[in-house]
Structure 1
Amino acid sequence: MRASLVLFCLLAASCQTRPAPETATTAPPARTVPDAPLRETRWVLRQLGTQAVSVPANTAEAFLTLRAEGQAEGNGSCNRFRGSFFSEKPGELRFSPLMSTRMACPALDTENGFTRVLAQSSRYRISGDTLRLFDAADAPLARLEAVYLH
């Protein structure tokens, strides 16, 4: 009897259950945002070159809207602008000279920088809700973000 008890204890000790090995957990798939359309989207200026754009008090966010019929319109922060744009090849985006009102405002530097970037623009890329403008040498000019009105 004693021998059977010792044998039972040895067998029980050798059959100890081990915790199941941890498996690598996979992160849930990243939520992919479809690319916003270039046209008929309100693109708000977030960055000029490498500088983030801030909105001073009593001014509006600078934005750009490209209409289906080829018209570009927007606001540089204080002044509205309008002109034409051309996108004849995929990734191409050029602007005609823009007409603008000329009111003075605290965000005039941002406004002048924005219109200068639009004049230099020759290419674009959209990734999700982000529009990036580039010059002919593929140097980054600006980053804009799609804002959807509810």
Structure 2
Amino acid sequence: MLRFAATLVTGFGLFCLGCQTSNTVTTSTPTTTARPPAPGAALFETRWVLRQVGNQSVTVPEGGQEPYLLLRRDGKAEGQGSCNRFRSTAATDSVSHLVFTPLLSTRMACPALPTEQAFTQALAAAHSFRISGDTLRLYAPTEPDATPLARLEAVYLH
């Protein structure tokens, strides 16, 4: 009988061990994973501020205004050249093609007039675009992989 009781206790003990759950504690070193790239800014309804025309960085001289472009969903384009406001229409497939009709502009003089003229010439010559992150680049039709005509940056108003 004693042998039976010992077998029963051993069996019960093994049964209890089989039912036991363990809380495994694992420690790991946090891995530094690269964040996925930020989604590109929207082409439409974004204020695109001119940062570069051709190879020239854009600085706003005293008395000038920050040049920008705003494309509306209805095809209207408007902006500031630095001295003058302008309007146009833009045809796009929203993927890579972008063409502007001739710009209508006011005719005021200011110290930033050369920058404005380069900007409006870049818009007139634009045929395609690329957005990466918060950067919009405009390209000529014959040079889609060359230096962009203009580089603009999305600026979000809060």
What interval of TM-score do these two structures reach, taking the shorter chain for normalisation? 0.7 to 0.9
- Of 141, 147, 150, the residue aligned with 2:149 is 141
- 1:1-150 correspondence runs (5 A): 27-30=32-35, 32-88=37-93, 90-137=95-142, 138=144, 139=146, 140-150=148-158
Structure 1, unmatched stretches of 5+, are 1-24
TM-score by length of 1: 0.80
CA–CA distance in structure 2, aligned partners of residues 146 and 31 of structure 1: 19
Percent of aligned positions that are identical: 57
**Residue type of the partner of 1:111?**
E
Deviation at 1:26, TM superposition (A): 5.4
CA–CA distance in structure 2, aligned partners of residues 101 and 90 of structure 1: 31
Could you say if the C-alpha distance between residues 71 and 48 of structure 1 is closer, same or farther in structure 2, counting changes exceeding 3 Å? same
Structure 2, unmatched stretches of 5+, are 1-29
Residue by residue, what CA displacement relative to the aligned partner does 1:76-129 show, whole Å, maximum 9, x if unpaired?
001000010000362000000000000000000000000000000000000010
Q: CA RMSD in A?
A: 1.6
TM-score by length of 2: 0.76
Structure label with greater radius of gyration: 2
CA–CA distance in structure 2, aligned partners of residues 27 and 118 of structure 1: 41
Q: Which runs of 4+ in 1 moved over 3 A?
A: 25-28
**Residue type of the partner of 2:152?**
L
Number of equivalenced pairs: 127
2:43·2:94 contact (CA, 8 Å) conserved in 1?
no
CA–CA distance in structure 2, aligned partners of residues 89 and 70 of structure 1: 11
